Amino acid sequence: MINLKRAFSFALTDFYRNKGISVSAIFVLTLTSLLVTGLFLTHGVSSYLIDTIQNKIDITAYFKESTSEQDILSVKDEILANAPNTKSIDYVSKEDALSDFLQRHKESEVFSKALIEVGGNPFLPSLNIVTGGNTTQYEKIAEILEGQQFEDIIEKVDFSEKKATIDTIFSITRSVNIVGLLLGLVFVFIAISIVFNTIKLIINTAKEEINTMKIVGASNWFIKAPFVIEGGIFGLIASLVCLLLTVIAVLALTRFISVILPGFSLVSYFFSNLFLILLIQIAVGVGVGVVSSIIVVNRHLKV
Amino acid sequence: MIKFQNVTKIYPPSTTVLQEISFEVKDGEFISIVGKSGAGKTTLIRMILGLETPTSGEVFFRGQNISSLEGDYLQDVRKKIGGIHQDYRLLLNKTVFENVAYILEVEGLDDIEINSQVPKVLEAVGLSDKLNNFPEQLSGGEQQRLAVARAIINHPDVIIADEPTGNLDPYNSYEVISLLEKINKVGKTVILATHDKEIVNKLGKRVITLEEGRIIRDESKGRFLI
């Protein structure tokens, strides 16, 4: 216990006495943590983008006015049986369609007047289908709806242009993900090498001292612990600095991102993942700091 | 206490530094190991500290074969040896007080004992007014006196001094040797490796003379004769 207390005391004293070196180690560790955090946030934004597009309605099948609810639901069952991975199929009755329309345009007199002029409920019952962007599913559903089986009850089928959009976005995101991941890994590797070399430089200057400590009888643990703790302190401070910078960046960027991606709040995404982000930042900062220290000190302990 | 038994050290490919060295150091002795530069004095000292292993032969410290010791066992032996070196080997990032305290911290003593013992030793070597200075703020003589303080703080069984006056002027050399004599007078064993003729002759103690890695003379009241 007394030794652990001393190891902490040595680490803090060294940290304070070598302020310049400490600051440079914290700086490179902060950059590494920021890089990893940036990758995490970018992943969040792109996931949201894909999710939003996937959840848009792909196909709307409008049924003839006289079609019974039971018949429509049997079409729904047929689709589910043939394309079980369909994300959602919602039945919208004539009445639901009308009330939804009225709700959406309650402030517009033009639409209300138009409805009166048409007379009655002009809407048709429908099935809103979300395939989730799977091309095979999409084609299967299209085949069922356009087939002869339901020719008599289906008035028309609306295919959104989403298929092409999804294909394009998928190919873009796939490329971006692969390139991003590779680039990310390269940057993280470079960052870790810089951190490792910075800590190596710091500990190399203490090489003679480590030798002296060994000659006067200090145990490996007694010599190593302060360096490892110091590496941990570098990492912890770097994590806190990184967190602070991330909060500032998130607050500054959230409005800008909301304009590009309506409905996505970077602030909410950040705070709902705060624990995970903190964990990543501490793991990167403290982990890299501590592991680098252990590796470098071990090299000098063979006296 | 310390025994060299047919010790030979050859650095690859074929540089022989020590040849068939055998001698014994008894408790409370003051031994000077003399010889020209390159005679093998430092290698011999490093073997006692377990920093070099013999190519053949054995070095014993209180019956333990030093070259067979590893890890904490070797560190335990090193704790019993106070080392003073020509290049001082001080911890430059620690103050005068902390350099001496470090030895007691390694031994696991509590702060109260450390705070009571360290100032006494620093007073004995004349550094009580420099407690908070860093080694680089001290003169050569002061740095070597600090090394002496560090070597004696934990009352080791033996003090090994490798050319302790090598970088000092005559006045500071005299001060350091006086300290070693005082340490020996209280019963501690002292091994002094030096090529300073005047110091050795003035001491009038046992002298082992090395020449080209061999012991050519071992006299109980010897003189520097090369």
Q: Say what the ipTM of the complex is.
A: 0.86
**Whether the predicted pLDDT of A151 surpasses 90:** no
* B108 reaches A (C-beta below 8 A): yes
Q: Residue B120: what residue type?
A: K
Q: Which of A110, A128, A159 is the last residue of a domain?
A: A159
Dihedral in degrees, nearest 10, Cα atoms B117, B122, B123, B126: 170
Residues A252 and A139 in one domain: no
Give the confidence band of A132 by pLDDT, cuts at 50, 70, 90. Answer: low
**Whether the predicted pLDDT of B58 surpasses 80:** yes
In this complex, which of B76, B81, B105 lies closest to A6 when CB atoms are compared?
B105
Dihedral in degrees, nearest 10, Cα atoms A216, A221, A224, A228: -160
Yes or no: say if B4 and B66 are a contact pair by the CB < 8 Å rule: no
Yes or no: say if B147 and B88 are a contact pair by the CB < 8 Å rule: yes
Tokens of A48: 């949201």
Bridge partners (DSSP) listed for residue A154: A63
> Which chain B residue is nearest to residue A223, measuring alpha carbons?
B106
- Residues of chain A whose beta carbon is less than 8 angstroms from a beta carbon of chain B are 2-3, 6, 14, 17-18, 206, 208-209, 211-220, 222, 303
Give the sign of the dihedral formed by CA A237, CA A239, CA A243, CA A248.
positive
Closest CA to B71 of A274, A66, A301: A301
Q: How many CB atoms lie within 10 A of CB A44?
A: 17
Which residues from chain B sit within 8 angstroms of residue A6, using beta carbons? Answer: 105
Contact across the interface for B83 and A303, Cβ inside 8 Å: no
The pLDDT value recorded for residue A242 is: 93
**Whether the predicted pLDDT of A81 surpasses 90:** no
Question: Which of A31-45, A243-257, B32-46, B154-168 comes out lowest in average pLDDT?
Answer: A31-45
Residues A215 and A235 in one domain: yes
**Whether the predicted pLDDT of A174 surpasses 70:** yes
Residues A147 and A234 in one domain: no
**Whether the predicted pLDDT of B65 surpasses 90:** yes
Contact across the interface for B108 and A214, Cβ inside 8 Å: no
Q: How far apart are CA A38 and CA A184, in angstroms?
A: 9
Contact across the interface for A303 and B51, Cβ inside 8 Å: yes
Residues A150 and A91 in one domain: yes
Contact across the interface for B92 and A220, Cβ inside 8 Å: no
Contact across the interface for A214 and B71, Cβ inside 8 Å: no
Number of domains in chain A: 2
Give the confidence band of A71 by pLDDT, cuts at 50, 70, 90. Answer: confident
Residues A117 and A61 in one domain: yes
For residue range A192-244, list pLDDT tens digits in order: 888 788 878 877 778 888 889 999 999 989 999 999 999 999 999 999 999 99
Residues A289 and A178 in one domain: yes
Q: How far apart are CA B208 and CA B45, in angstroms?
A: 13
**Whether the predicted pLDDT of A247 surpasses 90:** yes
Which residues from chain A sit within 8 angstroms of residue B150, using beta carbons? Answer: 216
Average pLDDT, chain B: 91
The pLDDT value recorded for residue A203 is: 78
Residues A22 and A114 in one domain: no
In this complex, which of B72, B93, B106 lies closest to A216 when CB atoms are compared?
B106
Residues A24 and A118 in one domain: no
Contact across the interface for A217 and B75, Cβ inside 8 Å: yes
Shortest Cα distance from B124 to chain A (angstroms)? 21
Dihedral in degrees, nearest 10, Cα atoms A167, A172, A178, A181: -130
The pLDDT value recorded for residue B96 is: 97
Residues A175 and A255 in one domain: yes
Contact across the interface for B102 and A2, Cβ inside 8 Å: no
* B103 reaches A (C-beta below 8 A): yes
Q: Which of residues 174-203 of B touch A (CB under 8 A)?
A: none
Closest CA to A123 of A60, A56, A55, A57: A60
Q: How far apart are CA A20 and CA A10, in angstroms?
A: 17
Residues A246 and A106 in one domain: no
CATH number for A92: 3.30.70.3040
Q: Which of A111, A138, A159 is the last residue of a domain?
A: A159
Domains of chain B: 1-80+159-226 (3.40.50.300), 85-155 (no CATH)
The CA-based angle A11-A15-A19, given to 5 degrees, is 170
Q: How many CB atoms lie within 10 A of CB A170?
A: 15
Shortest Cα distance from A26 to chain B (angstroms)? 20
Q: How far apart are CA A128 and CA A61, in angstroms?
A: 7
Contact across the interface for B108 and A18, Cβ inside 8 Å: no
Q: Which of A138, A159, A180 is the last residue of a domain?
A: A159
Q: Which residue has the tokens 């004992």?
A: B113
The pLDDT value recorded for residue A187 is: 78
The pLDDT value recorded for residue B82 is: 92
Which residues from chain B sit within 8 angstroms of residue A208, using beta carbons? Answer: 89, 92
Q: How many CB atoms lie within 10 A of CB A114?
A: 12
* B70 reaches A (C-beta below 8 A): no
Q: How many CB atoms lie within 10 A of CB A28?
A: 22
Residues in chain A: 303
Residues A36 and A90 in one domain: no
* B76 reaches A (C-beta below 8 A): yes
Yes or no: say if B34 and B226 are a contact pair by the CB < 8 Å rule: yes
Contact across the interface for A216 and B93, Cβ inside 8 Å: no
Domain encompassing residue A11:
2-53+167-300
Shortest Cα distance from B70 to chain A (angstroms)? 10
For residue range B17-41, list pLDDT tens digits in order: 999 999 999 999 999 999 988 889 9
Read off the DSSP letter of residue A263.
T
Task: Strands of chain A (E only): list them.
Answer: 59-63, 88-92, 126-130, 154-159
Average pLDDT, chain A: 83
Question: Which of A207-216, A294-303, B193-202, B207-216 comes out lowest in average pLDDT?
Answer: A294-303
> Which chain A residue is nearest to residue B110, measuring alpha carbons?
A2
Q: How far apart are CA B83 and CA B37, in angstroms?
A: 20
In this complex, which of A14, A17, A218 lies closest to B106 when CB atoms are compared?
A218
Phi/psi at A251 (nearest 5 deg)?
Answer: -65, -35
Task: List the B56-61 sheet strands across, edge first.
Answer: B15-25, B2-11, B56-61, B64-65
For residue range A39-59, list pLDDT tens digits in order: 888 878 877 877 777 777 678
Shortest Cα distance from B33 to chain A (angstroms)? 20
Tokens of B124: 């004995």
Contact across the interface for B91 and A17, Cβ inside 8 Å: no
Contact across the interface for A215 and B83, Cβ inside 8 Å: yes
Residues A143 and A259 in one domain: no
